[in-house]
Structure 1
């Protein structure tokens, strides 16, 4: 007997499918906002990421929750400000004041070395919503026992305690990674992880899936395919580009994008994205797959080879200036999001958890600080006005000092804890490069923003650095100036 099902049954099935999009979250490491073609880079080549921007939305005011990696990653995974999780610096530094050996005015605040099991991660939230879950790449959120497979991900390819690919082959096999078996000689890490992501997509094509591909690229060690490096060496010569450096005390800061190895790393990352896009096209899954691409902090411009320039943004990784916290943010969801949009609304790392929870119908048992971006994606208006805040009570390896910041509207205030009574105030609409400190001209605005920042710090349980009683002003300061890259020419 043939059973005739009512029309509303099919409508219900279609609507249910629309409510459960597939999700791919792509998180780059140390990638600056200006490192993509769609954001204006003319040296690096990123056609696949530019395609996401063209077919979706490019956000001009996407922010990381911290100017270094682990805190931002904790915020991404939980939807909570790093201060609530206790992860406020990259995991692996001196986590207690008594371990601090540098001659600095302040002792950095203590922090935890793992994302607690009590935190609800993206993986756990999506899994409880009926999704198959997969993690590939950099984790850097704690020791073994706190890796992706312990935090809600069905599969983990390469996510361990390390902050970079520090195995004997670096970005090439052998990886010496306990969660990533070595491949054949010459295998390249970003391509391998993209292949594993595609295998997961293929295996779960008939049910909702969530893949989090967290790139090791473009973090140090600076290491790339020889053919791509040669390509950019030739391009650099053809364009007549030379390294130039300015000064961001106490460091030199790169002013020109011309580093061939770094450019090759950017392209390799883009090629990995392209492989995933092709798999979605092949399986006819692109329409109802939500893709989010962003980075964990700004581009590395003041240390470890200083491989990129973030201009016109000031500073870079490790700094509370825009170059350290403003990120590329691209979102594509053809079933919902109108193509070719530019969205200026400021958003930040915790918002991605809130967004995925919204579109997946997920739940969590912890307080979520982020807000869902779904209204922006569906074209149903802007988000409620709010401030974004940062609190980094540490001395970064890139020259930055402990401080906090708040952005409300076009205004941004930075308070450096070494000089708390000398705040910096910038109007980002008129002064994106943060060159004109307007604090003395706007005392009422400074007072208002500082009060709001302090209220936020109290709410999230932010810990402050304390005076270093062993500090010796006669000795070199612990914020050591770095030499420019070999062969660099300083700006005159």
Structure 2
């Protein structure tokens, strides 16, 4: 299948926007295209170092804009970080500390994971008391549109996108994955209409198509288009054509005999060699390319800010064990950089950037005030209490040094442990709630987080730990509690089964997926029923 838009076209689209003759006035309010990809890892893009995945359209955003090399999600799982993107707050403040739907307290024991702690209760939807980014923009004349994954409450909670400032909601509800219909039409999503001529269309292209429709209809207004992909969340699916492309590429690059190694809790994928996941990423990239082309076709590319990020790291363990984060340890759910550091790009057409790399640590909570600032709208520090505007950094200036905080008093499906974290300058301290021990890493010299230097830097570790504990106390947050009936031996046996039973099963599945005759089902998850992926308008 030919690509919708080639890299040269997109680079031309974005690069043409930086000439001084095309600058908007200081009082003009720009349009905003805010793109969130689900579970996309820091190293899951070619522009961020991947030699396996191909993402020319996403790369073009980065290469024409600003790349934040220390861009972080506010949580290693989805719902908490998604809330932070919209309210500008860290998770301990807004209280949605776990992905919506996860059990807590005694209900957690029914999972039979035999953990030492019982995770606390948490908020299950975005607070109605918070003034969200779309609400702030609506107050200033913006039309607001949401398409894709929500996972921040349900209709019963009165917490759908339209309850929090979006004029239009396409496909957003309480589910966190494409569980109703998969990644190919019909999608059976209760907040989105399926059409007969869309059979075989990918979910990502469907969301792009709906976003393009909104942009075209509102090209004479000022708008926020929030495109929140369900991909690349499990269950991963792609077309036969894309699977073949990346299976052949994996073979050319050399397929390792063993594809997994044990982390502390679960096996972790060692390499980027999953051809289905690679195909799913490419489908997202093509969908994004189609929306960027819509902006250009409607003369909106010169006055539309483009934000691109992910809600957490890529999945190395758990779910579909899909990817590896190369230079980073861990992935989604984990307390290490692979779980927290994400792709983070901001393209502002009237600012000359061209792939400018900004190393200052920044957070998903910062995007709310940054967009207000770029739109010449007064900031709302009482709302986005933890986020700061990054506009000075985009202008080549400085912002004040500050610590970043994370609080995850839960166990993740991907091997994550109950932790709280502070990053200050190049130092990262992790507090583990099971036994209250700490780890300290110098991220300048140890990005892989393989060398705990807390004992060699005792005074620094104590100071950072005090700051972290004081901050948590000021948030009046919730903590995990000990299970008085904890069975240590049952826990040991469960962890051992991950090594002796789960890992061999994963190795077998990996080899099957990389074999030339592999086929998931007769119609490749419905993609071969009828393909309209090139039809976007």
TM-score range, shorter chain: over 0.9
Quick check: 1:424–1:437 contact (8 Å CA) kept in 2? yes
What does residue range 77-226 of structure 1 map to in structure 2 within 5 Å? 77-97=86-106, 99-101=108-110, 102=112, 103-144=114-155, 145-167=158-180, 169-183=181-195, 184-226=198-240
Please list the CA deviations of residues 235-254 of structure 1 after superposition, one character each: whole Å capped at 9, or x if unmatched: 11222223522221121111
User: How many residue pairs align between the two structures?
Assistant: 473
What does residue range 309-458 of structure 1 map to in structure 2 within 5 Å? 309-360=324-375, 361=377, 364=380, 366=383, 368-379=385-396, 381-420=397-436, 422-458=437-473
Q: Which runs of 5+ in 2 are unaligned?
A: 1-22, 512-537
Please list the CA deviations of residues 423-476 of structure 1 after superposition, one character each: whole Å capped at 9, or x if unmatched: 111100000000111011111011000011111112222211111112112323
| Structure 1 residue matching 2:25: 3-state secondary structure | helix
Quick check: 1:129–1:362 contact (8 Å CA) kept in 2? no
Quick check: 1:67–1:325 contact (8 Å CA) kept in 2? yes
**Structure 1-normalised TM-score?**
0.93
1:227 paired to 2:241 = yes
| Structure 2 residue matching 1:191: 3-state secondary structure | helix
Aligned to 2:478: 463
Q: Which runs of 5+ in 1 are unaligned?
A: 1-12
Aligned to 1:5: none
Change (3 A) 1:367 1:123: closer
C-alpha RMSD of matched pairs (Å): 1.8
Residue 481 of structure 1, aligned match among 498, 506, 509: 498
**Structure 2-normalised TM-score?**
0.85
Looking at structure 2, the residues matched to 303 and 100 of structure 1 have their Cα atoms a distance apart, in angstroms, of 19
**Shift of the alpha carbon at 1:287?**
1.9
**Shift of the alpha carbon at 1:336?**
2.3
Looking at structure 2, the residues matched to 162 and 48 of structure 1 have their Cα atoms a distance apart, in angstroms, of 28
1:250 paired to 2:265 = yes
Aligned to 2:37: 28
Please list the CA deviations of residues 288-335 of structure 1 after superposition, one character each: whole Å capped at 9, or x if unmatched: 211110100111001123110012100111111000000011111121
Looking at structure 1, the residues matched to 385 and 240 of structure 2 have their Cα atoms a distance apart, in angstroms, of 44
Quick check: 1:95–1:113 contact (8 Å CA) kept in 2? no
Looking at structure 2, the residues matched to 244 and 325 of structure 1 have their Cα atoms a distance apart, in angstroms, of 23
| Structure 2 residue matching 1:213: 3-state secondary structure | strand
| Structure 1 residue matching 2:490: 3-state secondary structure | coil
Quick check: 1:139–1:161 contact (8 Å CA) kept in 2? yes
Looking at structure 1, the residues matched to 344 and 36 of structure 2 have their Cα atoms a distance apart, in angstroms, of 10
Aligned to 2:527: none
The worse-fitting range, judged by mean Cα deviation, of 67-76 and 285-294 is 285-294
Residue 72 of structure 1, aligned match among 78, 81, 84: 81
Looking at structure 2, the residues matched to 427 and 393 of structure 1 have their Cα atoms a distance apart, in angstroms, of 24
The worse-fitting range, judged by mean Cα deviation, of 329-338 and 184-193 is 329-338
Looking at structure 2, the residues matched to 14 and 186 of structure 1 have their Cα atoms a distance apart, in angstroms, of 41
Quick check: 2:369–2:384 contact (8 Å CA) kept in 1? no
Looking at structure 2, the residues matched to 105 and 431 of structure 1 have their Cα atoms a distance apart, in angstroms, of 30
